[in-house]
Amino acid sequence: DTEVTQTPKHLVMGMTNKKSLKCEQHMGHRAMYWYKQKAKKPPELMFVYSYEKLSINESVPSRFSPECPNSSLLNLHLHALQPEDSALYLCASSQVGGRIGNTIYFGEGSWLTVV
């Protein structure tokens, strides 16, 4: 079962709110990712976790705070966002290791609107 589940599907938040996006996978993957996608653009990497440790942070502003509580869960905590942060946030997961790399599976995404 190749499934990555994201909640909520839609989120509207004010610039002073604190909210979280959640992601779960049960494929035994030990790498998990957050990507951001603006309308009519390709996804852009934000964070990579490998074995529950942050391995890549693509210079993302600190108002985005990732967390990986265990090997199946990945959260993205949001605080003091700006309207330009409105986008589709995609979670993904894959196996770790292998020089040639592994298939990366994506969830359906969470649509975020900042008002």
Partner 1 sequence: SQQGEEDPQALSIQEGENATMNCSYKTSINNLQWYRQNSGRGLVHLILIRSNEREKHSGRLRVTLDTSKKSSSLLITASRAADTASYFCAYTGGTSYGKLTFGQGTILTVHP
Which residues are at the interface with partner 1 (CB under 8 A)?
A: 2, 4, 6, 31, 33, 35, 41-45, 48, 50, 55-56, 88, 90, 92, 94, 96-109, 111
The separation between CA 46 and the C-alpha centre of its own chain, rounded to angstroms, equals 7
The separation between CA 100 and the C-alpha centre of its own chain, rounded to angstroms, equals 23
Task: Specify which residues 78 forms β-bridges with.
Answer: 19, 64
Query: Least CB distance from residue 18 to partner 1, whole Å?
Result: 25
**Which of 15/54 has CB closer to partner 1?**
54
Query: Least CB distance from residue 35 to partner 1, whole Å?
Result: 8
One-letter amino acid of 85: D
